[in-house]
Amino acid sequence: MALIATLLTAFVALSHVGFMVLEMVFWDRPLGRKIFKMTPEVSASSKVLAANQGLYNGFLAAGLVWGLWSGREDVKLFFLACVILAGIFGAVTAKASILFTQALPAILALAFVLLAAA
């Protein structure tokens, strides 16, 4: 259980590093526009907002890495819960698929962290 919990938590952290890079670096470039289905005008006008969002994703990744590095279950649980809430909010307010790309992996990781701790 502990290995699965660690792998899932690491996957969530790595995903958020990827989200951060997409939002901070590639948002206003062809790759970002293709992934997020935006016109150049939309990506240019929302570039600063996306960078801010990317920074928050970086903080989530950093918190999960801290939890993995320190072995502190409370830190992992806190940051996984933050990811889940952000994923649910994003699914409700932006795009339903965020529930599956962001919240679901974090839900699975949180469940395995809890099972491993029991």
Could you report the per-residue pLDDT of 32-70, keeping only the tens digit for each? Answer: 999 999 999 999 999 999 999 999 999 999 999 999 999
Query: How many Å apart are CA 107 and CA 16, to the nearest integer?
Result: 14
Domain ranges (residues) in the chain: 2-117
Instruction: Give the model confidence (pLDDT) of 100-110 as tens digits.
Output: 999 999 999 99
In this predicted structure, the answer to whether residue 118 has a pLDDT above a threshold of 90 is no
CA nearest to 24, candidates 65, 64, 52, 66:
52
DSSP state of 90: H
> What pTM does this model have?
0.92
Give me the half-sphere count of Cα atoms (radius 13 Å) on the Cβ side of residue 84.
15
How far is Cα 26 from Cα 17, in angstroms, rounded to an integer?
A: 13
